[in-house]
């Protein structure tokens, strides 16, 4: 095991049980993600991309196998421990932004900081920095309903990075955006990766989105396949 691996998945299996039926998503998944990587995960619908992100993000637990983050096992943490771990280490970016509709942009970005010991003043400072980073300083007081999809996704990115996590997880972050807006969002992610050293895993359907990543892997039926194999 080399030390610059942020994530290591070893012999991970994941099954869902619905009544009598058991769906097996992963049988024996092995994976390493290096610190500073920007990894795109592609693959057909239902191939297990979201399930993989959920495992990486500590939102879900593997049925079998080990997941370590920064050398520490997370697959055996309790729900409460995982919540704390997520708050400290992971920034989430969703396809549909998932902003709180009753909070303005600044208050939305502030949410993860409510889980820290920072006082209101310090929180506001950090929110300001995060909004500047995504180019939305002038929208701090706008409600989500007053913003375009691209702007909302920027707010969501600001929310994901405001508490300075090492790791960003993006599930089809541009799936709901037009080409140009999508490219702007992807450039922002690239910036976060290159200039701020964030390790990013991004699920996408879109090959041109994947081009922004440093590496692309393909999932098919719960297994990684070479891109050439998928194309062939």
Ligand X SMILES: Nc1ncnc2c1ncn2[C@@H]1O[C@H](COP(=O)(O)OP(=O)(O)O)[C@@H](O)[C@H]1O
Q: Is 99 in the site for ligand X (CB under 6 A)?
A: no
> Looking at the DSSP assignment, which residues form a beta bridge with residue 40?
202, 216
First to last CA, the chain: 33
Return residues touching Mg ion (CB under 5 A).
Answer: 50
Q: Minimum Å distance from CB 41 to ligand X?
A: 9
- Please say which residue, 37 or 110, places its beta carbon nearer to other proteins: 110
Provide the phi-psi class of 229: left if phi over 0, else alpha when psi is between -120 and 50, else beta: alpha
- The DSSP symbol for 162 reads T
Other CB atoms closer than 10 Å to residue 218's CB: what's the count? Answer: 21
Q: Is 63 in the site for other proteins (CB under 8 A)?
A: no
- The DSSP symbol for 232 reads -
**Run of H or E including 182:** helix 179-194
Give the CA dihedral 155, 114, 54, 232, nearest 10 degrees.
20
The interface partner of residue 227, options being other proteins, ligand X, Mg ion, none and the CB cut-off 5 to 8 Å by kind, is none
Q: Is 20 in the site for ligand X (CB under 6 A)?
A: no
The interface partner of residue 101, options being ligand X, Mg ion, other proteins, none and the CB cut-off 5 to 8 Å by kind, is other proteins
Q: Is 114 in the site for other proteins (CB under 8 A)?
A: yes
Judged by the rule CB under 6 A, the positions of this chain that interact with ligand X are 16, 18, 23, 25, 43, 45-51
Judged by the rule CB under 8 A, the positions of this chain that interact with other proteins are 54, 57, 59-60, 79-80, 83-88, 92, 94, 98, 100-103, 107, 111-112, 114-115, 159
């Amino acid at each position: 095991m080399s030390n610059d691996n942020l994530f290591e998945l070893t012999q991970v299996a994941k099954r869902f049980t619905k009544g009598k039926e058991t769906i097996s998503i992963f049988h024996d998944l092995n994976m390493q993600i290096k610190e500073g990587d920007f990894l795109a995960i592609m693959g057909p619908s239902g191939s297990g991309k979201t399930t993989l992100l959920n495992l990486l993000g500590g939102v879900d637990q593997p049925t079998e196998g080990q997941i370590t983050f920064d050398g520490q096992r997370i697959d055996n943490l309790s729900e409460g421990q995982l919540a704390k771990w997520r708050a400290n280490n992971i920034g989430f970016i969703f396809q549909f932004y998932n902003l709180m509709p009753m909070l303005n942009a600044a208050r939305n970005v502030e949410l993860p900081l409510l889980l820290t010991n920072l006082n209101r003043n310090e929180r506001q400072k950090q929110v300001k920095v995060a909004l500047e980073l995504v180019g939305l300083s002038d929208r701090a007081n706008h409600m989500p309903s007053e913003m375009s999809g691209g702007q909302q996704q920027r707010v969501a990115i600001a929310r994901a990075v405001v508490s300075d996590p090492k790791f960003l997880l993006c599930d089809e972050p541009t799936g709901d955006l037009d080409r140009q807006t999508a490219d702007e969002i992807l450039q922002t992610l690239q910036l976060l990766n290159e200039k701020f050293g964030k390790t990013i895993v991004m699920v996408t359907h879109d090959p041109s989105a994947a081009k922004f990543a440093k590496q692309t892997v393909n999932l098919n039926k719960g297994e990684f396949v070479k891109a050439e194999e998928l194309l062939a």
